[in-house]
Amino acid sequence: MIAWTGRKTVEGVAYAADILFLGFLAFKELFSPARHGRGEASRVIVRQILFTGVDALPVVGALALMLGLIVIIQAGLALPQVGAGEFLANIVVAALVRELGPLLTAFIVVWRSGTAMCTELGNMRVGQEIDAIEAMGISVVRFLVMPRMVGTIVALACLTVYFDLVAIIGGFLVAKVTLTIPFLVYLEDIGRALSVTDVLITVVKSALFGLVIAVICCHHGLSVAGAVTEVPQQNARAMLNTVAACLVLDILVSVAFYVR
Amino acid sequence: MGTAVIELDRVMANEGVLAHVEEFSLTVHGGEAIALVGANRSGKGLALKLCAGLAAPASGSVRVLGVDPSAASDEEILHLRRRVGFVFAKPALISSLSVYDNVAVPLRYHTELPESAIRERVMACLAECGVDVFHDHLPAGLTMGGARLVALARALVSDTELLCVDEALFGLDAGELVRFRGLLEKYRRDKGLTIVVSVNAPTSLFALMDRLVLMRDGRLVAVCPPAEASRVDDPMVQDFFGNN
């Protein structure tokens, strides 16, 4: 048991070190003065933003609307019963903007884009495409990881803001059927409850989630050794580890910024 | 004879249990064309990767274009690989990029040429390889021979000094083989390209080669001009040339 715990701990530390190192290399490439290949990287970044961000708008919008509706109806009905009806906006900001928005958007991106990234890179490994890229003297991190990381960070930050807007406004408009609060009063309350810091922390948190998703999924895709059967296995590991990493990161950010 | 482009001295290497080479020594000079010849699992693919600096030896020394890959920094390795064109047995084209973009990738990453100059060079190279009509296709739409010719175009489009082709015959039909051979001849004649190919069957390509390196079980059996190869007294060689 002790040996197993020790082995797992060592493996965990080595895994975290690999992820951090890959993230470091990707950032290094991002700020590298070398101009060569920037056009190609820009094309991949745009493609990644389109796939991760624009293509996900309908599903993120639908989820945001439904979740906003649930939170607003439940809070709007329950809070007045305990004499705290005026705190609806505070609950909406705390639940939707600070926590559920970034987290659920990140999960959608993990399921859509994270799996796609991991599968694509895994298949590229199997098809010797990555060997060919290395054989051409092109850095795999510069060619494959860095553009995906940047694209995912940008797309996820934008998607989270979109999620929050749809959840707050759309959710309320739909919930209006059962609630008696006027829309303008609700908006004023939201404005008072929502600080600039909340918005900044949400965007920073989303950017960190984007970074974690891209780096972990790329790491697992690149870890495929050569068999096609490894691709779904690495995909499953990437999904689990990414979701866990996002949750841990969320706790750390929340504790760092909100616990006084 | 030019300076030594590849120097392998008593190299031992392995790729897991799949392939190994033992006590392998070979020197290839600039502008030379040689073929690593042997049956499947004879170690010629691994020997080819050693020649290109893509595999690390367990022991012995390797120098490719004057660089020892196992002692070189990452930057030196990247620089070395820009000078070496390698065509894998599988074409290994980037599946999400068009044929044109696949061939343009090394120029976009290693040169500061404007896109117009890149386009001119890439289309010329694709035309030489006879695959320019597919320039806007994705690799999935190509035949194996077509994809390998695109991979050859990608390897030749930069100022390559050493070209390594794994399983040179794989997937090529008769016409594609003639074109492939013509291209090797042209680049060798016009640009002094050093060529190393691996093959697992007798081929008309032998006529282009200065030497054949005959291999069995990861070991070098003989190095000789093509005309003398069929007379090498070794059962594998006799089988290979159909003398048994």
Name every chain A residue with its beta carbon within 8 A of the beta carbon of B90: 127-128
B22 residue type, one letter? E
* Chain A interface with B: residues with Cβ < 8 Å: 35-37, 39-40, 120, 123-124, 127-129, 131-139, 143
- The number of angstroms, rounded, from the C-alpha of B143 to the middle of its chain's C-alpha atoms is 20
Is A138 in Cβ contact with B94 (below 8 Å)? no
DSSP for A174-209, please give it.
HHTTT--S-HHHHHHHHHHH--HHHHHHHHHHHHHH
Is B110 in Cβ contact with A36 (below 8 Å)? yes
Q: Which residues contact A131 (CB under 8 A, 6 or more apart)?
A: B54, B88, B92
A70 min Cα distance to partner chain B (Å): 41
Q: Report the residue from A35, A128, A143 with minimal CB separation from B88.
A: A128
Name every chain B residue with its beta carbon within 8 A of the beta carbon of A139: 78
The per-residue pLDDT for A42 is: 86
Mutate to test the interface with B, among A129, A139, A144, A228 (most CBs of B within 10 A): A129
Which residues 197-216 on chain B approach chain A with CB closer than 8 angstroms? none
Is A40 in Cβ contact with B109 (below 8 Å)? yes
Residue B53 belongs to a domain: yes
Q: How far apart are CA A77 and CA A85, in angstroms?
A: 8
Name every chain B residue with its beta carbon within 8 A of the beta carbon of A148: none
pLDDT tens for A127-178 read: 999 999 999 988 899 999 999 999 999 999 999 999 999 998 888 887 777 7
The per-residue pLDDT for B82 is: 87
In the structure encoding, which two tokens stand for residue A221, read together?
């895709």
Q: How far apart are CA A226 and CA B90, in angstroms?
A: 13
| B106: contact with A, CB 8 A cutoff | yes
Name every chain B residue with its beta carbon within 8 A of the beta carbon of A144: none
Q: Report the residue from B77, B108, B154 with minimal CB separation from A37.
A: B108
Q: Which residues contact B66 (CB under 8 A, 6 or more apart)?
A: none
For residue B62, list its beta bridge partners: B8
In the structure encoding, which two tokens stand for residue A101, read together?
């928005």
A146 min Cα distance to partner chain B (Å): 14
Q: How far apart are CA B88 and CA B241, in angstroms?
A: 25
The per-residue pLDDT for B1 is: 60
The per-residue pLDDT for A35 is: 65
B139 min Cα distance to partner chain A (Å): 12
Q: Please determine, for residue B243, whether its predicted confidence score (pLDDT) is greater than 80.
A: no
Residue B145 belongs to a domain: no
Q: Report the residue from A37, A127, A134 with minimal CB separation from B109.
A: A37
Q: Please determine, for residue B244, whether its predicted confidence score (pLDDT) is greater than 80.
A: no
The pLDDT mean for chain B works out to: 89
Q: Which residues contact A105 (CB under 8 A, 6 or more apart)?
A: A60, A156, A159, A160, A163, A206, A209
Q: What is the mean pLDDT of the segment spanning B1-25? A: 85
Residue B113 belongs to a domain: no
| B110: contact with A, CB 8 A cutoff | yes
| B108: contact with A, CB 8 A cutoff | yes
Kindly report which listed range (A166-180, B72-86, B132-146) carries the lowest average pLDDT score. Answer: A166-180
Q: Please determine, for residue A85, whether its predicted confidence score (pLDDT) is greater than 80.
A: no
Helices (H) and strands (E) counted in chain A, each on its own, are 13, 0
Give the chain A residue nearest B76 (alpha carbons): A137
The per-residue pLDDT for A188 is: 87
| B170: contact with A, CB 8 A cutoff | no
Q: How far apart are CA A98 and CA A204, in angstroms?
A: 11
Residue A35's φ and ψ, nearest 5 degrees, are -90, -20
| B113: contact with A, CB 8 A cutoff | no
Helices (H) and strands (E) counted in chain B, each on its own, are 8, 9
ipTM of the prediction: 0.87
Q: Please determine, for residue B199, whether its predicted confidence score (pLDDT) is greater than 80.
A: yes
Mutate to test the interface with A, among B17, B102, B109 (most CBs of A within 10 A): B109
The pLDDT mean for chain A works out to: 90
Alpha-carbon torsion angle A37, A39, A43, A45, nearest 10: 70
Sheet of strand B219-224, all strands in order from the earlier edge strand to the far edge: B84-87, B162-165, B194-199, B33-37, B211-216, B219-224
The per-residue pLDDT for A50 is: 92
In chain B, the number of structural domains is: 1
Sheet of strand B19-29, all strands in order from the earlier edge strand to the far edge: B19-29, B4-15, B59-64
pLDDT tens for B80-116 read: 888 999 999 888 999 999 999 999 999 988 888 889 9
Under the banding of pLDDT at 50, 70 and 90, the label for residue B200 is confident
Is B90 in Cβ contact with A127 (below 8 Å)? yes
Q: By residue range, what is the domain housing residue B178?
A: 4-92+160-240
Q: Report the residue from B95, B106, B111 with minimal CB separation from A136.
A: B106
Q: Please determine, for residue B202, whether its predicted confidence score (pLDDT) is greater than 70.
A: yes
Higher pLDDT, B126 or B202: B126
The per-residue pLDDT for B159 is: 83
Is A137 in Cβ contact with B95 (below 8 Å)? no
Query: SS3 of B4, please?
Result: strand
The per-residue pLDDT for B231 is: 81
In the structure encoding, which two tokens stand for residue A237, read together?
């590991």
Is B79 in Cβ contact with A132 (below 8 Å)? no
Residue in B59, B2, B52, B54 with CA at minimum distance from that of residue B32? B2
Give the chain A residue nearest B112 (alpha carbons): A36
Is A128 in Cβ contact with B110 (below 8 Å)? no
Domain extent listing, chain A: 61-258
Q: Please determine, for residue B191, whether its predicted confidence score (pLDDT) is greater than 80.
A: yes
pLDDT tens for A43-82 read: 889 998 999 999 999 999 999 999 988 888 888 888 888 8
Under the banding of pLDDT at 50, 70 and 90, the label for residue B39 is confident
Question: Which CATH number does the domain housing residue B216 bear?
Answer: 3.40.50.300
DSSP 8-state assignment for residue A33: S
Is B95 in Cβ contact with A129 (below 8 Å)? yes
pLDDT tens for A198-240 read: 899 999 999 999 999 999 999 999 999 878 999 999 999 999 9
Residue B174 belongs to a domain: yes
- State whether the Cα torsion B196-B202-B203-B205 is positive or negative: positive
Q: Which residues contact A103 (CB under 8 A, 6 or more apart)?
A: A209, A246, A247, A250
